[in-house]
Structure 1
C-alpha cells in the first residue's frame, strides 16, 4: 500500500498528503473512474496505452476511503480496447461480489509495430465486450462480445452498461443503420441466466455519436438516457423499463431545450441515482442559453453551467448527497477541476480542487462526508497521468 506520511514513489505511483498520481513516461492514460464494491471498498479503474498501441485495462483497490490504493491489477490487455470518452469502460459488482468489467473493443486493431508504424485509423468496427472475475479481480474470464450478431464492419458503440434489479447485465449502444452513413439506432441487449440474448432496437433513429446513460433506480426500474434526433432537434430523451429491460415506456424529453443543430455534438448524458429521484447532466448549445445542465428525473433544472469551456460533467453521490464535477479552462490558458455540491434542490457555488492545474475529465464517488476524485493530467494536449484526491464536503 502507499504510505501517506511522506512523499513516496513506488513504480509509477507518487503519493503526497491524500493525493496519488499514476504517471509513467511513454504511456498515455485515459478514462479514470471510481466505483464502490459490496465491501464498501473504493475501486479505481483506468487504461494505459504504450507507444506500440497496446492498451492495458487496470484497477486498484482502496480499503481506506481513497487515501491509499493497492498495486494495480490487470483486467485485460489488447490493442483494440477503446480509450475514447464516449464509450467508457464500466466496473460493476454482482450481489454475490463477482466483478463484471465491460469495455468497447475493436477486433481489427493491431499493434503499430505489426502495422508498419502507421498511425491507427478510426475504427470501422466496434463491439462491447465483457469479462468477469469471481475471485476479487485476481483472475478474469476470457472476454466475450455481448453481441450474437457480430457482422464485421459495423460500429456498435457509445455504450453504457449496468446491472438490473435481477442482477443481470444490460447494455445499451448505438449501431450503424445499414446503407445509411452516419445514421444509427439505439439498441439494448440483456443477459438472462448470464447468457446474452438477441439485441433489440428501442429507438429506430437517434443522434449518432453521443454517449449513452443507463442506470437502475431505487425502485428497480431500468432507465435509458440518450440524445434524440427529431428533425435535427437533439434534446436528451429517457425511457424506463419496469420489467428488467423486456419493455420500455414511450420516450420523453428529460428537459425541452429545443436545440436544433445539423451535426452530432459528441457529448451525451450522464445519470446518477440520488435519493428517490435521478439526476441527469448534459450539454446543450441552444441559442441564447447554452451550457451544461443538471436536471432531475421530473425535468426540474437545478443548474446551468454557462462557462463556454465546460462541455461535459460527471456526477457522484449517494442517497443524501451529490456532486457535479467538471473540468474548466483551455489547453492554452490552463485547466482546473471544479465541483458543486447538491443538497435536495439546492446547488452550491463553484468550488475548486486544490492543486488540480492541468486536470481534466474528473470522476468521483462520495463516501461518508468525503468526495474522492480522480482526473486526468495533461501536458500539451496529451494525457500523461491520472491523479486522485480526497476532499471533505461541507
Structure 2
C-alpha cells in the first residue's frame, strides 16, 4: 500500500510530497518531493551528472525566440550542494543547434577546475539529421569557456552524436560518439562508435573506431571504475541483431567489445533506447532495455572486476516497460534503477519506476515514484545521488509549456 499526501504552495513553484510505504527490504520508507530549479520556463533536455566533491550538476537548454530564422539556443548549468542551488553558469549560445529528445548536450566535471561540455550544431548544407558535435573546455571551474572544437575531423555532413564524456586521469577527457560518416560517403548503412581523448590544453588525440557497426540512434553511456573507463552502447550484429556491448580501457587501450546480455533482439530500425552504467571502485552495474522475442523488458547485470565480466541478466521489469533507464548508487553496495513503465491505457501516462539492486544480486520490490507523460518531449529522465544521500531526478515537462522538473527522493 502507498499513502500519498499532497501539499501545494502558492506562486510558480508547486511542491508535492508523497510518502510511500513500500515493501522494500525492511518496510523501507521512500519520500519524494518536487523542488524548484534555476532553469527558465520553456527549458528542455536536462542532464544530471555528479561532481568529484559530491555536489551535482544540472545542465539544460533554453531557447531565445528570435523567429524561425533567428532562433538561438543556450546551454546552461547549475550546481547543487548540501540541498541548495549554489551557482549557475552559461556554456554556449548559438543558432542552428540540433535539438533532439534523445541526443542532447552535457556538461561534465573532470576534476575541480577542468570541465568539458558538448552540444550539437547542424552541418552546413546538410540534411535533417546531419549535425556536428561541438566541444568546449573550461579550466577555471565553468566560469569561462574556450572556443568550440569538433572531436570528429572527417568534414563530412553526417550524423555525429550520442556523446558520452568521462575522465581519463586528472588531465584528460574521453569522448565517445556515434558517427555516420561511412554511411554517408559509402552508403554502407553502418554507423561506428568512435573515441578520442581531449586534454585540458585542448589537444585532441587521434580518432579510434571501437565498433564499426552500431545501432544508429541509441545513446551511449560511460562510467569510471578504479581500473579505468567502462563504456556501453547498442551494437548491430548479424544483420539486424541490436544488442548491447561493453568494453573497458586498460593501459590506454580498449579491450575487445563483449556482449552485454545476449538478448538476440532482431529489429529493422533503431529503438532509440540506450543503456545505463555506474561504477564504484571495481563494482559496475549495467542496465538496459530490450524487446527480444517481442517481449519488452528492462534488465541489469553486475560486474565485480571493472567490466571484464558481467553476471547473467537480472529481470528488472517484464511488464511491457518503455525503458529510458537511469542508474545511481544509494550506497557502496546498493544501486537504484529508474525507468518508464507500461503506459496506462486509460490515462495514457507512464509510471516512473524505481527498483533497488544490491551487488549480491538481490532485487528489491519495484515501486512507482509518480506518473509522467511518456511522449518523446519528456526526454530521458535523469537520476544522480546527492551529497546528502538522497536521489535527484530530472525530466522535461512536455508541451505546450516546456520546463525542467526536478524531484528529490529518499529511498533508503
Q: Please say whether Structure 1 and Structure 2 have the same fold, judged by a TM-score greater than 0.5.
A: yes
Offset at residue 166 of structure 1 (A): 5.2
Matched with 1:343 is 358
Offset at residue 308 of structure 1 (A): 2.5
Q: 1:204 aligns with which of 212, 220, 238?
A: 212
* Structure 1 segment 21-170 matched on structure 2, within 5 A: 21=36, 27=42, 29-51=43-65, 52=67, 53-65=71-83, 68-70=84-86, 72-108=88-124, 122-124=128-130, 126-149=131-154, 151-165=155-169, 167-170=171-174
Matched with 2:176 is 172
Q: Structure 2 vs 1, CA of residues 121 and 186 (structure 1 numbering), >3 Å: closer, same or farther?
A: closer
Matched length: 366
Matched with 1:115 is none
Scaled by the length of structure 1, what TM-score is found?
Answer: 0.82
SS at match of 1:353: strand
CA contact (8 A) 1:336 1:352 kept: yes
Offset at residue 206 of structure 1 (A): 2.1
SS at match of 1:195: coil
- Show structure 2 runs of 5+ residues with no match: 1-6, 17-32, 304-309
Pair 1:312-2:328 in alignment? no
Q: Structure 2 vs 1, CA of residues 122 and 160 (structure 1 numbering), >3 Å: closer, same or farther?
A: same
* Structure 1 segment 177-196 matched on structure 2, within 5 A: 177=182, 178-180=185-187, 182-192=189-199, 194-196=202-204
In 2, Cα distance between equivalents of 1:250 and 1:357? 39
Matched with 1:280 is 286
Matched with 1:364 is 383
In 2, Cα distance between equivalents of 1:383 and 1:231? 41
Pair 1:386-2:404 in alignment? yes
In 2, Cα distance between equivalents of 1:330 and 1:221? 35
Q: Structure 2 vs 1, CA of residues 304 and 328 (structure 1 numbering), >3 Å: closer, same or farther?
A: closer
* Structure 1 segment 279-298 matched on structure 2, within 5 A: 279-287=285-293, 289-297=295-303, 298=310
Q: Structure 2 vs 1, CA of residues 122 and 195 (structure 1 numbering), >3 Å: closer, same or farther?
A: same
Offset at residue 324 of structure 1 (A): 0.8
Offset at residue 90 of structure 1 (A): 2.5
CA contact (8 A) 1:373 1:390 kept: yes
In 1, Cα distance between equivalents of 2:40 and 2:111? 36
CA contact (8 A) 1:186 1:202 kept: yes
Offset at residue 236 of structure 1 (A): 0.8
Offset at residue 255 of structure 1 (A): 1.0
Offset at residue 24 of structure 1 (A): 5.6
SS at match of 2:263: coil
Deviation string, structure 1 residues 195-253 (Cα, Å, up to 9, x no partner): 10221222222222222222322222443433233222111112222023xx3222210
Matched with 2:30 is none
- Show structure 1 runs of 5+ residues with no match: 110-119
Higher RCO by CA contacts (8 Å cutoff, separation 6 or greater):
2
In 2, Cα distance between equivalents of 1:250 and 1:63? 39
Offset at residue 59 of structure 1 (A): 0.8
CA RMSD for the aligned pairs? 2.9
CA contact (8 A) 1:207 1:227 kept: yes
Deviation string, structure 1 residues 90-124 (Cα, Å, up to 9, x no partner): 22223343222122332439xxxxxxxxxx97232
CA contact (8 A) 1:24 1:384 kept: no
Deviation string, structure 1 residues 338-381 (Cα, Å, up to 9, x no partner): 21122222222222225x544743211123431111122224xx
Matched with 2:335 is 322
Deviates more, 1:218-227 or 1:232-241: 218-227
